[in-house]
């Protein structure tokens, strides 16, 4: 089983709202990732968690705040977003950091009004 799940599937929020995206995997993977994808573009890496610790932040604005409560869960907390943050947010996981195949979830389509 190579399933990564994400909730919600769709999210609409105002610029003053606080919301969270959730990602879960039960494959025992120790690396988890957040990507942002704009329409018809490749995904852009945002954050990498390695053994539940943040190992890479690709200079993402502080209005995006990741959290890894345990080895199976990854959250992305959103606050004071801008309309240009509207995108598909993809979570991925891999067995180990820096190696192996990354498996992606179905994504959360975020619209910021």
Nearest distance from C-beta of residue 48 to another protein, angstroms: 8
41 token code pair:
């573009």
Q: Are the beta carbons of 98 and 44 closer than 8 angstroms?
A: no
Considering the complex, state which of residue 27 and residue 80 has its C-beta at the smaller distance from another protein.
Answer: 27
Cβ-based neighbours of 8, under 8 Å, separated by 6 or more = 21, 108
Binding mask 72-101 for another protein (x = CB under 8 A): ----------------x-x-x-----xx-x
Residue 64 CB: number of other CB atoms within 10 A? Answer: 19
Nearest distance from C-beta of residue 82 to another protein, angstroms: 23
Residue 56 sits in the site that holds another protein (CB under 8 A): yes
The separation between the first and the last C-alpha atoms of the chain, rounded to the nearest angstrom, is: 37
Binding mask 12-31 for another protein (x = CB under 8 A): --------------------
Residue 104 sits in the site that holds another protein (CB under 8 A): yes
Cβ-based neighbours of 18, under 8 Å, separated by 6 or more = 77, 78, 79
Which residues make up the interface to another protein (CB under 8 A)?
2, 6, 40-43, 45, 48, 56, 88, 90, 92, 98-99, 101-107
């Amino acid at each position: 089983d190579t399933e990564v799940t994400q909730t919600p599937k769709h999210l609409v929020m105002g610029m003053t709202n606080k919301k969270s995206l959730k990602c879960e995997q039960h494959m025992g993977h120790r690396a988890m990732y957040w990507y942002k994808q704009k329409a018809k573009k490749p995904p852009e890496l945002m954050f990498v968690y390695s053994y539940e610790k943040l190992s890479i932040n690709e200079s993402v604005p502080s209005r995006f705040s990741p959290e890894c409560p345990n080895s199976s869960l990854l959250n992305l907390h959103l606050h004071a977003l801008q309309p240009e943050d509207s995108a598909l947010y993809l979570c991925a996981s891999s067995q180990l950091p820096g190696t192996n195949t990354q498996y992606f979830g179905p994504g959360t389509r975020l619209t910021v009004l």
